[in-house]
Amino acid sequence: MPTLISETDVKLERADLQRRVPLPRSVSVDGFLVPPARTPGLHLSGLLRYVAQKSKITAYINDVAEEDLPIRWMLGQVFEEFAASLFPFMIWQPGEIDTPVIMTPDGVSVEDYGLLLHEFKFNRAKKYAGADLLKKKTVWMWQGMGYCLGYGASRVVWNVMSVMEWPDPLWTQYLVEFSEKELEGMRRMIDSNRAGAIAEGYSE
């Protein structure tokens, strides 16, 4: 089981909003800043969708109305871009790496103990207690372990906006550490499912 290092509810003040540093996109096309194109091939996200569906993880089995997805993507991007602008020490969207599969984390920073991976999630539910996050968000944990493998890290911080809290949405940070045994298990999972994910059309 991954280790929860900390769970912190983020409280914003007016001063936080005033010190934001808007983050430019890294690629310019005809004067417009746009996200870099994704490299064709098997991405970590595709491999995890394949494993989740094969494992019958409910969130990946239930059909989602296609017309709902753009709004969800928009809200997720709004939260990520705003939250990332509050962390000037973080490299936002550092780009793709391709070990052990193609992957693109939301952010990376250098801490006293080494590299820290950053992920931003828009959660259409109530806040997860830390123990529930570790148990129920299996695909998030796989994603975090995959990023750690790619970057030679062991810790991920999830910034999660939970919109079903009352009276206001709640932003929580969860700092999680993975053991060498867990990371090695993740490497084996990637290796054993790579061919199946490609054969089933999960490459991009």
- Residue ranges per domain, the chain? 3-21+39-199
Predicted confidence at residue 156, as pLDDT, reads: 98
Q: Which pLDDT tens digits describe the chain residue by residue (204 residues)? A: 899 999 999 998 888 888 888 776 655 556 555 566 788 999 999 999 999 988 887 666 555 554 567 888 888 889 999 999 999 899 998 889 998 899 999 999 999 999 999 999 999 899 999 999 999 999 999 999 999 999 999 999 999 999 999 899 999 999 999 999 999 999 999 999 999 999 999 888
Q: Give me 99's structure tokens.
A: 């070990």
Task: Write 66-75 long-range contacts (CB < 8 A, 24+).
Answer: 72/122, 72/124, 75/122, 75/163
CATH class of this structure's domain 3-21+39-199: alpha beta
Predicted confidence at residue 158, as pLDDT, reads: 98
Predicted confidence at residue 181, as pLDDT, reads: 98
Q: Are strands 114-123 and 155-162 parallel, antiparallel or unpaired?
A: parallel
Spatial distance between the Cα atoms of 23 and 42, rounded to a whole number of angstroms? 28
Instruction: Report pTM.
Output: 0.89
**Omega before residue 2 within 30° of 0, cis:** no
